[in-house]
Amino acid sequence: MSIRRLKTLVAIAEEGSFAAAAAVVHLSQGAVSMQMKALEEDLRVELFDRAKRPPELNEAGRALVPKARELIALYAGMVESAVGSGAFFGTLTIGAVPTALSGLIPRTLARLRDAYPDLRVRVVPGLSAELMTQIERGQLDAAVMTEPARPVSHLAWRALAQEPLMLLTPPDTLGSDPLELLRAMPFIRFSREAWVGRDIDDWLRRKGIRVREVMELDSLDAISTMVYHNLGVSIVPLRCVEGPVRLPNRRIALGRDIKPRVLGLMSAADSAKEPLLDAAFRTMIDLVREEAPAGPARLEG
């Protein structure tokens, strides 16, 4: 039985619905629903009255909630004991999309190193699709990646941040209409092998914009450098945690009809390294929250 599923159950009981609980536990509503179905399968009992909208806890579900709180408290005490004694050791193998490698990942690893000096972390770069495959094969313990289009029952997803997509232009570019700039200037495309790159391509098609593509890259740092040297404009996600060097390119909002990229931590459900993954996730959430006040100010429009 997964502690994460029990936490989700308690969140539903406290918040009153799957949708409200999803925001608390950093999951999509679909992932919350899948977790509850999996919990019911584990226990071989129905916990919700799904004839009601939204579904409500039934008698068995309400009876389980206090027991779930007890188990969660015991688990928290175990983790606190381990953390207090510096007991995290061994190797954590974590994958990361390129956009996280200069900001979120190094700053997370620095904090984990300071907190757990006996812990070794190995980082594997890659795009979201290949990282998810490596988690499924047991080659990675977890990965910082884009949220998949649909929940995967045997994988656990924890959302970290929404990263709005923006138009990146050279510092001295005139004008603030993103559509006009995209039509007028050369375009540096974010790789369509990346899930966010496909979202960008779909948005361009919906807008009827035919760009003059000059290159396609999967590194945000490389794209930023190309844009800075006036080789074109690009559409990229605004990183939730910036790296140490930020070029003075202009960042222009694209509007509300382009969905943000959701970045999160993916791992195998019921991972044996769950306490360590929890510690890593909490560290990442802290970094995102520390960076958050500066986020919207970096966009024009």
Pairing relationship of beta strands 250-253 and 142-146 according to DSSP bridges: unpaired
Q: Which domains does the chain have, with CATH numbers?
A: 3-83 (1.10.10.10), 90-98+118-272+287-301 (3.40.190.290)
The pTM of the whole model exceeds 0.75: no
Q: Which residues of the chain have pLDDT under 50?
A: 85, 295-301
User: What pLDDT score was predicted for residue 297?
Assistant: 37
Tens of pLDDT, residues 108-159: 999 998 888 888 899 999 999 999 999 988 899 999 999 998 888 788 899 9
The pLDDT value given to residue 292: 76
What pLDDT is recorded for position 83?
52
* pLDDT score for 301: 37
